[in-house]
Amino acid sequence: MNEVVVLTPERILEATEEVLRRYGLAKATVVDVARVLDVSHGSVYRHFPSKASLRQAVAKRWLDRANAPLQEIAESSGPAPARLEKWLRTMVDIKYKKVTEDPEMFATYLTLAQEACQAVRAHKERLVDQVAQIISDGVKQGAFEVADAKVAARAVFDATTRYHHPAHSDDWKDPTRPARIDALLELLLRGLEAPRKR
């Protein structure tokens, strides 16, 4: 019954996150991670070829976790305009919660993500594909009229940069933020809409 606790990449990632939380990004060392796991730091290098790859893996996990709820909305059914709005608001909320609940860890993960720019590109690509899916549904439903769903999706994603890109995390304090988001979403949805009769 008393299983031998084996060293797995999963356990190492967990220990790394603890070390990051405890010491912060700058002072977190592989030696610290090994100490938490009660092994020598050489053992960690048996599972990750370098400190950089360890950090990348942490970043990737973080991005994947952020992706899940959005994926779900994109795959659900219903009127596309409402779904798109919900998707965008959810994305904005996810970032909002992350940055307000634990600003230090957010900053940490953020830097890790910037280092793993390849993973970030893939993450963004996935997000744009989700938006493209919703817009494409909207075209089929007759609610949207766009030449190319993927192009439109990227435009929508770009247009909301200010409210989901981490570079603008200091805007969270702005009291007019909710009203501005409302105005922006309305503008975008109107731009996607099929022309209406007066």
Q: Quick one: 31 or 151, whose CB is closer to DNA?
A: 31
Contact 107, 23 (CB under 8 A): no
> H or E element: which one contains 23?
helix 9-23
**Binding partner of residue 6 among DNA, a second copy, none, CB under 5 to 8 Å per kind?**
DNA
> How many residues make contact with a second copy (CB under 8 A)?
29
Q: Which residue has the tokens 């912060």?
A: 24
**Binding partner of residue 45 among DNA, a second copy, none, CB under 5 to 8 Å per kind?**
DNA
Query: Does 194 sit near DNA (CB under 7 A)?
Result: no
Residues 6+ apart with CB under 8 A from 185: 85, 88, 89
Could you give the CA distance from residue 69 to residue 166 in angstroms, rounded to a whole number? Answer: 19
- First vs last Cα of the chain: how many Å apart? 74
Nearest CA to 9 out of 42, 45, 63, 36 is that of 45
Strand partners, 193: 144
Nearest CA to 124 out of 104, 93, 153, 102 is that of 153
- Site for DNA, residues 11 to 50, rule: CB under 7 A: 26-27, 29-32, 39-43, 45-46, 49-50
Contact 44, 19 (CB under 8 A): no
Query: Does 173 sit near a second copy (CB under 8 A)?
Result: no
- Site for a second copy, residues 95 to 134, rule: CB under 8 A: none
**Binding partner of residue 163 among a second copy, DNA, none, CB under 5 to 8 Å per kind?**
a second copy
CA 47 to chain centroid, in Å, comes to: 26
- x-or-dash string of contact with a second copy, 28-67, rule CB under 8 A: ----------------------------------------
Smallest distance, Å, CB 123 to DNA?
A: 24
Structure tokens at 68: 């899940």
Q: Quick one: 51 or 154, whose CB is closer to DNA?
A: 51
What residues make contact with DNA under the rule CB under 7 A?
6-7, 26-27, 29-32, 39-43, 45-46, 49-52
What residues make contact with a second copy under the rule CB under 8 A?
151-152, 154-156, 158-163, 165, 167-168, 179-180, 183-184, 186-192, 195-198
